[in-house]
A = this chain, B = another copy of it.
């Protein structure tokens, strides 16, 4: 009976981890070339495909730079891309162990302002659904939301009872989006925003502005203003 000469398969995660280890250990310093895929495959005793898979993600995150013929190098400028998830507010609040609450402040049809039109790439006569709402954590103001929705993109929203379900939640469950733009900044609280959030006028407010698109049609533009002290944490 012949001996079973098959190796245990080598996982791409294992290779990735080992490459990371060598970089951390200084074995492959920034800027240094690393062996090509064929050699690495031989060293690890696996198919080249597997090495490729392992290195692809490292290159995607920017830790490695790959060019045909030139080979693969440890990036000289570890570019550090940060990713963070756009939260579903209710989940976010409940994750912090608080009771979530929601209140609709205003609902109206309105002509888009110039600023909104430019962000959503709309015609000058575009009429949008404008919503202002407050999200609560344990009854305290958590985030104020000023939202514009295009009924042309999402006609169904006109029939939704947005006093009960937040536009955020409804859109998330009913309209997929394929692209989005997110802008982060700090703003002083305007008088009415300060009143809604229950903070002093001029307080430093963390603000997220978001436009989401389905193909080439803008679905919604929203300015979310968080109560003072809000922090967003992500991993690089």
Where the two chains meet, the residues of A that have a C-beta atom closer than 8 Å to any C-beta of B are: 20, 23-24, 29-30, 62-63, 74-86, 88, 172-188, 202-207, 210, 212, 214-215, 226, 228-236
Contacts and interface: CB of A to CB of B under 8 A. Distances in A.
Interface centre among A75, A181, A204, A215 (most CB of B within 10 A): A204
B82 A83 contact: yes
A186 B202 contact: no
A80 B183 CA distance: 14
A40 to B, nearest CB: 19
Interface centre among A79, A179, A236 (most CB of B within 10 A): A236
Contacts of A229: 185
Contacts of A180: 80, 82, 235-236
27 contacts: A20-B178, A23-B176, A23-B178, A24-B178, A24-B214, A29-B176, A30-B175, A74-B176, A76-B172, A77-B172, A77-B173, A79-B85, A80-B85, A80-B177, A80-B180, A82-B83, A82-B84, A82-B85, A82-B86, A82-B182, A177-B236, A182-B236, A184-B233, A185-B229, A186-B187, A186-B204, A202-B204
A86 B76 contact: no
Contacts of A173: 30, 76-77
Contact of A236 (B82, B86, B214, B230): B86
Contact of A179 (B85, B210, B235): B235
B232 A184 contact: yes
A54 B22 CA distance: 30
A205 B212 CA distance: 26
Given A24-B215, A81-B86, A86-B82, A30 B176 contact: yes
Given A79-B86, A82-B84, A182 B233 contact: yes
Contacts of A183: 231-234
